[in-house]
A and B are shown apart, each in its own frame.
Chain A
Amino acid sequence: MPECAFAPWTDPGAEPLIRFRNVTKRFGDFTAVRDLTLDIYEHEFFALLGPSGCGKTTMMRMLAGFETPSSGHIELAGQNIVPVPPNKRAVNMMFQSYALFPHLNVWDNIAFGLKRDGMPKDALRERVAEMLKLTHLERFARRKPHQISGGQRQRVALARSLAKAPKLLLLDEPMGALDKKLRQETQFELMDIQEKTGTTFVIVTHDQEEAMTVASRVAVMDEGELIQVATPSAIYEAPNCVYVADFIGDVNIIEGAAHRAGDKHYTVHWADGQAPLKAASDKTFSPAQNAFLAIRPEKVLVTAERPADAENTIQGRIHDIAYLGNISTYHVEVAGGRMLKAQTANTRRIENRGFTWENRVWLSWDSTAGVLLER
């Protein structure tokens, strides 16, 4: 896999393109970004993910130069950029609202930044043509922004912000206004463009699927703080807390008391009269420490008979079935009225599926399938 080869964050000698050093941003007595330290490397496609209002846009705006940190500093290629005004930064931003100039046509919108640099006419025409081609907008060059569709507007905004070949491109929820299908197409286009141009992208999104699709690394934020920064697969497979596990995809969280049961193995006592659950973990838990076992629904097997070789088994009753075409999610009620989700791929036709409501079934998974978390 080529993605494995690109991992500058694992190389201690690599110089980051962007460095946030203890950056805090306050608006009055409200802290929008709290003591944030983060490195982003060249050629990365870095995603900021978090719920609305967690400070993603504020971080972007500090990178673009529209907000000044209340404390801490930000470096771009080794230079402190806090005192540099936005028009002097080698950073361009694609705005959440696109911010296309309504009085200029597509061509002039894309050429706007190049003209400010005083680029010679021929080179400018060539560059705009290149950008139009990259974003498949050649046919719309003479249209005004209100004469094109939402998806086309989004591509104009992208072309305009890429035209000056910035070191860093900031994309604030670039696909927020597109419908789902167009979004997915655009995500792949965006990755393609990022690869072709070699620009470092920082993308803001509140859509976890989008972040997982496009990013080389994802930063999960909450209330102005970074919760976890890791590759999409690490975030998914090894979340560092319940918040992240819950935010990214579907998850079952089973709370209980953890007890050591051998090297890197624990048992979780989760309900009276039920067999404790086995879980592997690199972390150390003190005896009877409160812990959370996070397990993805697709890792939970649903069977009619108790599987002989599974490490963890729980009996339950099917409460609900969500049929989603390619997959089905079973909501299974287990001891103490707790609800667990299990997902199976629908390889058989709907009428041939084994289970229906009120069936008694067994849920099972291995000790390494879940993650044991402290909080």
Chain B
Amino acid sequence: MRRVFIIIVPYLWLLALFLIPFAIVLKISLSDVAMARPPYLPQFSWEAGPGAFLAQLDFENFTFLTTDDLYWKAYLSSLQIAATSTLLTLLIGYPIAYAMARAPEEWRATLMMLVILPFWTSFLIRVYSWMGILSQEGYLNQLLLGLGVISEPLIILNTKAAVYIGIVYTYIPFMILPIYAALHRLDSSLIEAAEDLGCSRAKAFWLITVPLSRNGIIAGCFLVFIPTLGEFVIPSLLGGSGTLMIGKVLWEEFFNNRDWPVASAVAVVLVLILIIPIVLFQQNQQKQNEAQS
């Protein structure tokens, strides 16, 4: 009985917080937009019966997504931005995680604190403050102008560069923490053994440290890539009109066009795209757990 209960709880959780909402969104994506409240048809009614209701659902909205190139361009652009920022986050996060794992024992708790500290402030406020830093009259330009490094203010805000800065800044803890965990576990005598057997420091890093932190790297990359793909706040606030991301398109369909069915179709496709990396991520985690036990 206990075991059944333990197994049932996560499934109930999944049902209530993922499958039911997803079914609702899926249903809306199969409806038609209408001047109504809520703004789509058909509405389910008991008099007409479920047969008549189901008969009115169709895949029109999904077909529509393929007719307007805005959508596939937005998906592609999101994938590209997510991939690039994941790579950037990895390139910046790995050395930080490495330095943390190598730092003297008594410093590590403090360093860990510093990585987590930004979560104590609202995400929105932190992204807004980047507007203050990156804008033409922002702190960064003032500093660089003041130092005489540049003579004209740089245009960063409302470009892709600002989006990358925002994403790397926001998601870097998700990259650092799993890599740090992997490097922290790494026995330093393995590096010494590699050196003893003829490796230079750099070679030992490539042949031992990197492969042994592989699971941390993979976990970190997924933890950054998955939320970045549907990211909406950062491209809206920092990316300006030139940055095309599917999260932004989705928001505009819902709130500007009030086209819930198309917006839902966009969301359904996004979820389907995300399922691939999520499944891969799960497999990686499982492999890691097996390797540890």
| Contact (Cβ within 8 A) A116 B208 | no
In the assembled complex, the Cα of A160 lies from the Cα of B195 at a distance in Å of: 13
For B194, list chain A residues within 8 Å (CB).
Answer: 101, 112
Are A113's CB and B198's CB within 8 A? Answer: yes
Query: Residues 88-126 of chain A: 1 if any B CB is under 8 Å from the residue's CB, otherwise 0?
Result: 000111011101111100000000110011000000000
A53-66 toward B: CB 8 Å interface, digit per residue (1/0)? 00000000000111
B192 & A87 in contact (Cβ 8 Å cutoff):
no
Q: Which of B189, B190, B194, B198 has the most CB of A within 10 A?
A: B198
Interface flag for A86 (CB, 8 Å): yes
Q: Chain B nearest CB: distance from A61 CB in Å?
A: 9
From 148 to 202 in chain B, residues with beta carbon under 8 angstroms from any chain A beta carbon are 187, 189-190, 192-200
Chain A neighbourhood of B200, CB < 8 A? 87
B287 at the interface (CB under 8 A from A): no
The answer to whether A102 and B196 have CB atoms under 8 Å apart is no
- If A92-B197, A116-B198, A160-B197 touch, whether A102 touches B212 (CB-CB below 8 Å) is yes
Q: Are A116 and B193 in contact (CB under 8 A)?
A: no
Contacts of B108 in A (CB 8 A): none
Tell me the minimal C-beta distance from A169 to chain B in angstroms.
11
For A64, list chain B residues within 8 Å (CB). 192, 196
Q: Compute how far the CA of A113 lies from the CA of B190 in the bound complex, rounded to whole angstroms.
A: 13
Query: Are B198 and A95 within 8 A (Cβ)?
Result: no
For B, the interface residue count at a CB cutoff of 8 angstroms equals 18
In the bound assembly, the distance between CA atoms of A66 and B194 in angstroms comes to 12
Going nearest first, the 7 A-B pairs with the smallest beta carbon separation are: A113-B197, A116-B198, A99-B193, A99-B189, A86-B195, A103-B211, A87-B195
B203, CB-defined interface residue at 8 Å: yes
Set of chain B residues within 8 Å of A101, measured between Cβ atoms: 190, 193-194, 208
Complex A-B: 28 CB contacts under 8 Å: A65-B196, A86-B196, A87-B196, A87-B198, A87-B200, A91-B196, A92-B196, A93-B192, A95-B189, A95-B192, A96-B189, A97-B187, A97-B189, A99-B189, A99-B190, A99-B192, A99-B193, A101-B193, A101-B194, A102-B212, A103-B211, A103-B214, A112-B197, A113-B197, A113-B198, A116-B197, A116-B199, A164-B197
Closest chain-B Cβ to A112's Cβ sits at a distance in Å of 5
Q: How far is the CB of B189 from chain A (nearest CB, A)?
A: 4
Q: Which residues of A contact B189 (CB under 8 A)?
A: 95-97, 99
List residues of B (223-280) whose CB comes within 8 Å of A's CBs. Answer: none
Complex Cα distance A200/B44, Å? 87
Chain A: minimal CB distance from B63 (Å): 48
- In this complex, what residue of B is CB-closest to A91? B196
Other 15 A-B pairs with CB < 8 A, given A97-B189, A161-B196, A161-B197: A64-B196, A66-B195, A85-B195, A86-B195, A87-B198, A87-B200, A93-B192, A95-B189, A99-B189, A100-B193, A103-B212, A103-B214, A116-B197, A116-B199, A117-B198
Closest to B193 in A: A99
Assembly CA distance A117 to B199 (angstroms): 9
The smallest C-beta distance from B276 to any residue of chain A, in angstroms, reads 26
By beta carbon, the residue of chain A nearest B203 is: A116
Whole-angstrom distance between the Cβ of B287 and the nearest chain A Cβ = 12
A107 to chain B, nearest CB (A): 15
Closest-by-CB residue of B relative to A89 is B196
Cβ of A164 and Cβ of B198 under 8 Å apart?
Answer: yes
Residues B193 and A95 in contact, CB atoms below 8 Å apart: yes
Complex Cα gap A92–B194 (Å): 10
Is B187's CB under 8 angstroms from A99's CB?
A: yes
Closest A-chain residue to B198, C-beta based? A116
Shortest beta-carbon distance, B110 to chain A, in Å?
22
B211 to chain A, nearest CB (A): 5
Provide the residues of chain B in CB contact with A100, threshold 8 Å: 193
Instruction: Kindly list chain B residues whose C-beta atoms are within 8 Å of the C-beta of A91.
Output: 196
Name the B residues within 8 Å of A161 (CB-CB). Answer: 196-197
CB distance from A373 to the nearest CB of B (A): 40
Taking CB atoms, residues of chain A closer than 8 Å to B187 are 97, 99
- CB-CB < 8 A to B212: which residues of A? 102-103
Q: Shortest CB–CB separation between residue B181 and chain A, in angstroms?
A: 16
Contacts of A146 in B (CB 8 A): 291
* Cα–Cα distance between A95 and B193 once the two chains are bound (Å): 8
Q: Mark A281-303, 1 if CB is under 8 A from B, else 0.
A: 00000000000000000000000
Query: In the complex the two chains form, what is the Cα distance from A102 to B185 in whole Å?
Result: 12
Whether the pair A86, B192 counts as a contact (CB closer than 8 A) is yes
Interface set, chain A 156-187, CB cutoff 8 A to B: 160-161, 164
B291 contact set on A, CB distance < 8 A? 146
Residues of B within 8 A of A66 (CB): 192, 195
Question: Closest CB of chain B to A27's CB: distance in Å?
Answer: 14
Which residues in chain B, 71-122, are within 8 Å of chain A measured between CB atoms? none
Cα distance, A64 to B192, chains bound together (Å): 10
Min C-beta distance of A84 to chain B, whole Å: 12
Residues of chain B contacted by A117 (CB below 8 angstroms):
198
Q: Cβ of A116: which chain B residues have Cβ within 8 Å of it?
A: 197-199, 203
Nearest Cβ distance between residue B203 and chain A, in whole angstroms?
Answer: 7
Chain B nearest CB: distance from A335 CB in Å?
54
Q: Report if A93-B211 is in contact (Cβ < 8 Å); known contacts: A99-B187, A99-B189, A116-B203.
A: no
A87 touches B199 (CB 8 A): yes
* Residues from chain A with Cβ under 8 Å of B211 in the complex: 103
Interface centre among A66, A85, A116 (most CB of B within 10 A): A116
CB within 8 Å for A93 and B196 given contacts A99-B190, A101-B190, A103-B211: yes
Query: Complex: how many Å from CA A96 to CA B291?
Result: 23
Residue in B closest to A172 when the chains form the complex, CB atoms? B189
